[in-house]
Structures are given as structure tokens and as C-alpha cells.
Amino acid sequence: MRRLAEERLAERRPAARPPPGEADARRLVHELQVHQIELEMQNAELREARGQMEACLEKYTALYDFAPVAYFSLDRAGRILGVNLTGAALLGAERGRLVNGSLLPWLAPASRPVFLSCLARLVSGREKQACELLFLQKGARPLWASLCGVPAPSVGPRQTWCQVAVSDITAFKQAGEAQRRVGDLESANQELRREIRQRMAAGQALREAEHRQSQMLAESRRLQEQLQQLSHQTLRAQEDERKRISREIHDGIIQDLLGIDLCLHDSLREWAAKRPEAELKIARTQRLVRGAMDMMRQFAHELRPATLDDVGLLAALRGFIDDFKERTGLRVRLTAVAGLERLDTPRRTALYRVCQSALGNVEQHACATQVRVSLGKVRGGVRLIVADDGKSFEVDRVLHAGNNQRLGLVGMRERLEMVGGSLGIESSPGHGTTIRALVPFPEQASEPEVPPGTAKAKPGGRPS
């Protein structure tokens, strides 16, 4: 530098030979001038270095403030000693408000112990530390950040600080959460697809089972229809057989017994004068024959009363009710309407058998004191009502009980179904039992009820 200063001094003035005695003074002046130039050169270098340093500082400041990562300088208590603009923007506050403030209030309560533990390791002089924290922004959604810090030299005898870089990893967390959810969704989709396959297989099996069930149901219905037809045929055959046997008894056996009785009567007149002892034997035999005739008539009547076919339903019911009252001692009131003789034989027989079976149940099970039998026309048919004041029973239980406990209700229903009719049963404590039988009848108009004493009937009928 001295050489450069001397060269610049020589350039400023030409070299002159100093006079004698003035050499020392001139040398001193020369030295001063050289030193002055050295100082000027040093000042120029200093100004240039200062400019370069200010440029570097401005560049560093710009890099620090506008870095994509937030930088914080923290002491051991978590107080913010410095922060760049990115850090201030990360917390959503001005940098002036953050400096000398604590970072803890900006953290979620669950992240504060993690931060303090990491900070303690940093200020104790350990190596680089990292952790993940949840920051709470004012007026914004919480964000996840990755904190990476290194210990820094102390700025005072007792103050220890550190430098940390904070990166926003919310998107990464959200991507991880989304990936986890995608994995969960994929697992759920696989489970759903497996369940769909299982349900499809179960549905196919169910459809096959339904098809088999429908086939079995159709077969069951077909068999039930066949069984019902067989039952109806059996009932018709039984009724026809009863009618045939009753006719044979009435027209055959009873007539034969009647002939025997007449022969015995004639024999009694012939032998009475000749042999008195034979009169007693013939009279005894005649009583036996007449008793057999009465039994046969009763048996034929029980099988099928001739009045049902020859006179009509009302006369048959009156005869049966009269016998029933005489046999049981119960009070039976019959109410009927005229014009029922036009009922055809199957419907007439069905109503008669229902009444016969209902009164049989009253005699055996009801313990009743009186019975009301009503036979009349309703819209679309003829209705028979048999009501008693006896004991009640559970209709559903009896209908679903064994055959020996159904009180003949199933037979009543089957007989009515054969002619397109229906059966209704009501039974309650204190009100007894009421059986309603309805059969279709072509006439729509209903006729007024006729009291038992004034009811009209064909010859052979008797009022109740």
C-alpha cells in the first residue's frame, strides 16, 4: 500500500531535489503525505467493503425474510428473539408483535409439552432436533408444522438460544390423512365387494329357496285343494250314504217290521180264542217289534230326517229341536222366516248339520240354560244363528287343537265351504257362544221374521 501511495504522490507533483538542510523536513512531509494517501486508500477500500457488506446484508435480509421456510430465534423459555416475515405470516401476526413474545400461546395444548421437550434438548447444546407441532392461527384453521432446530451461541453470559426452521406440513398431513382414508376406503370397498358377493350369493340362494318354496307352496295348495275336494266328497258320500241307509231303514226294515206287526195282530185275533196262553207271547212279541220300529225310526231320523228332503229345512229343524228339548230339558227358542223351502238340497243339508252340530256342542260342553236359534234371510244369502248362554271357550285355541278337541267346528266350516258359505264363531265369558252360518241364496229381499207359533210350514212341520 505504501508503494501505491508513493506512486500516487509522484503522480501529483514532479520530483525536486531538496535544498541542503531541508532534507529532513521534506522527508517528514513526504512521509505525512504518503500516510495521508494510504489513509485515503484505506478509506476507499473501507467504503467499498461497507458497500459490499450492505449489499450482502440486504441480500441476506431478503433471503431471510422472504424464505419459503419460517425462521425463529428462541431462548430457553420459548421467547421469540427474532422471526422472518414468513414466520409472521405463518402465525398470521405482525413481526413487531411477535418479537419478545412467547411461542407457547400459538401452540395447541397437546403440542406444548412436545415443544418444550424439544427446546430443552436444543438449548442444552445437543445436536439437531426435530418435532411436529400443531399451531393455532387466529381466525384461521389450525396447521401442522415441522420444527427443525439447531443450538446457537449464547449472546450473553446466561442467555442460551437456538435457531429453528418451521415448515408447514398441513398439506402433507392432509395427504397422509387422505391416503389413510383412501386405504380405509379401499379396505371398506373390499369388504363391501366381499359383502356384495356374499349378498348376491345369499340372494341367489334366497331366490332359489323362494322358487322351491313357491313350488312347494303350489304343490301344497294343490294337495290342499285335493284334500279339500276329498273331504267334500267324503262329506257328500257320507250324507248320501246316510240318506240311502235312512231310506232303506224307512222303506225296508220299518216296512218289514210293520208287516210283521200286522201279521202278529192278525195271529193274535186268531189264536186268542183257541189258545189263551199264546195271546201273551204274541203281544210280547208285538211290543218288541214295535219297539224295534221306534228304534229304527229314531235311527233313521238321526241319520237323515225324511222331512229334510220331503218337507223342507224348517220342518226338519223343528222336529230336531223338539226332540232336543225333550231329551235335554233345555229351553230352545226358534225364530224363522217363510220362503226357505226354495233352498236346494246341499245348502239345506249344510244348515241342518251346522245346527245339529252346534246344539250337540251345547248339550255336551256349554252347560247352558237356554238356546236361541234364528234362521232368516240377509242380503245375498240365508243366515243361521245358534246362540247359547253357557260357558265360553278360546276359539283360536280350539280351532288349532287336535281333532278330538275341535267341537265339530272344522266339520261345520267344511260343510259350509262346500256350498260357498262361511262360518263365524264368537265366544266370550258372560256372553256364551254364538255361531253364525251363512249360505248364498239368489233372492236379495229379506222377509220379516215369523214368531215360532205363527211360522208357516209344510204339512208335517211342528212349531217350536
Q: Ranked by mean pLDDT, which of 122-131, 248-257, 263-272, 444-453 comes out on top?
A: 122-131
Residue 97 confidence (pLDDT) above 90: no
| Bridge partner residues of 162 (DSSP) | 74, 151
Residue 423 confidence (pLDDT) above 70: yes
Mean pLDDT calculated for residue range 182-195: 89
On whether residue 174 sits in a domain, the answer given is no
Residues 14 and 107 in one domain: no
Residues 80 and 24 in one domain: no
On whether residue 379 sits in a domain, the answer given is yes
Residues 441 and 463 in one domain: yes
Residue 443 confidence (pLDDT) above 70: no
Residues 455 and 319 in one domain: yes
178-211: b (≥16 Cβ within 10 Å) or e: eeeeeeeeeeeeeeeeeeeeeeeeeeeeeeeeee
On whether residue 407 sits in a domain, the answer given is yes
Q: Which CATH number do you get for residue 382? A: 3.30.565.10
- Higher-confidence position of 461 and 191: 191
Q: What is the mean pLDDT of the chain?
A: 77
Instruction: Supply the pLDDT for residue 436.
Output: 92
Residues 401 and 329 in one domain: yes
Instruction: Supply the pLDDT for residue 454.
Output: 33
- Under DSSP, the state recorded for 253 is I
C-alpha cell at 390: 253357557
290-328 tens-digit pLDDT: 776 667 666 665 666 777 777 888 888 888 898 889 888
Q: Which CATH number do you get for residue 146? A: 3.30.450.20
For the sheet containing 432-440, what is the strand order? 331-336, 370-378, 381-388, 432-440, 422-428
Domain boundary among 122, 137, 168: 168
369-414 tens-digit pLDDT: 899 999 988 888 899 999 998 888 888 787 766 555 555 788 888 8
Name the least confident of 158-167, 243-252, 259-268.
243-252
Residue 458 confidence (pLDDT) above 70: no
Residues 361 and 411 in one domain: yes
135-145 tens-digit pLDDT: 887 777 888 88
Residues 356 and 450 in one domain: yes
Residue 457 confidence (pLDDT) above 60: no
Neighbouring residues of 127: CB distance < 8 A, sequence distance ≥ 6: 150
Confidence of residue 446 (pLDDT cuts 50, 70, 90): very low
Is pTM, for the whole model, over 0.75?
no
Residue 445 confidence (pLDDT) above 50: no
Residues 335 and 422 in one domain: yes
Residue 73 confidence (pLDDT) above 70: yes
70 Cα distance to chain centroid: 57
On whether residue 256 sits in a domain, the answer given is no
Residues 132 and 31 in one domain: no
What total of structural domains would you count in the chain? 3
On whether residue 239 sits in a domain, the answer given is no
Instruction: Supply the pLDDT for residue 413.
Output: 87
Instruction: Supply the pLDDT for residue 451.
Output: 39
Residues 53 and 98 in one domain: no
On whether residue 348 sits in a domain, the answer given is yes
On whether residue 297 sits in a domain, the answer given is no
Residues 331 and 439 in one domain: yes
Q: How far is CA 222 from CA 216, 231, 292, in A?
A: 10, 14, 48
Look up the domain containing 397 and give its range.
Answer: 311-464
Q: How many CA atoms lie within 13 A of 235 on its CB side?
A: 20
Instruction: Supply the pLDDT for residue 396.
Output: 78
Mean pLDDT calculated for residue range 87-93: 84
Residues 39 and 75 in one domain: no
C-alpha cell at 173: 398431513
Closest by CA position to 386, among listed 409, 420, 402, 419: 409
